[in-house]
Amino acid sequence: MQLAYWLCDNYLKDPLATLIVENTHLHILPSMNPDGFALRRRGNANNVDLNRDFPDQFFPNNDDIKQRQPETRAIMNWIKQEHFTASASLHGGALVANYPWDGSRDTRKQYYGCPDDKAFRYMASMYSQSHYNMSLSKEFEGGITNGALWYPIYGGMQDWNYIHGGCFELTLEISDVKWPKASELLVIWKQNKMSMLNLVASLVKILAVLYRDHSW
């Protein structure tokens, strides 16, 4: 929400805000799991972890549309409708920029890169290096990690968005504290502000180059 406020307040005043507002179609979803947020748990009102509820490329879990949670169905429809270029899902409990794949075919904990691994590493590094201290992590080199190398998950949103939506999604763990106090949120925003802005601005510049190089 602070990102939205900052962009609106600084449009035509700050060159970075103006660049983003005039060159991107930016959607902000405050919470994918409002019931879980209110209950302070990962599960939704049905106590289902939504980040394990998407169809998975390696295992046929969640293939039955009738069994999928309403929040998951809504996100899937939204992604297919809007055709996003890139996205970021914000999480708490660690401090790292995570990129696909989130799992591997044999379920082992290992580096398992996707076809656009270099692009994802660039995006993750852009976020980490612009952050207050993410790139200084002692646990994650450079403050970034491949999901399958960190801890494999199946049925996650990140991989589904990339495969089925053509959307380059990062999972951003933006606070070591899972449930920060309300009084700490502005500090977390300030620590992540330039990371968020630079990530969006970098996508504007990348797309401009691609359009220039492939224009006819």
Which residues, other chains included, contact 48 with Cβ-Cβ below 8 Å and sequence gap of 6+?
A: 69
Tokens of 153: 């998950």
- 173 catalytic? Reply is yes
Residue type, 60: P
CA 145 to chain centroid: 13
* Catalytic residue chosen out of the listed positions 139, 169, 173, 184: 173
Check if the beta carbon of residue 148 is closer than 8 Å to that of residue 112.
yes
Q: How many CB atoms lie within 10 A of CB 121?
A: 16
Look at the block and give the residue holding tokens 């009102």: 45
Local structure of 42: helix, strand or coil: coil
Q: How far apart are CA 144 and CA 121, in angstroms?
A: 8
Q: Please give the structure tokens belonging to residue 83.
A: 């055709």
Q: Which residues, 6+ apart, have CB-to-CB distance to 99 below 8 Å?
A: 114, 117, 120, 121, 123, 124, 144, 145, 146, 147, 158, 170, 171
What letter would DSSP give residue 214? T
Report how far residue 17's alpha carbon sits from residue 12's, in angstroms, rounded to the nearest whole number: 7
- Tell me the catalytic residues: 173
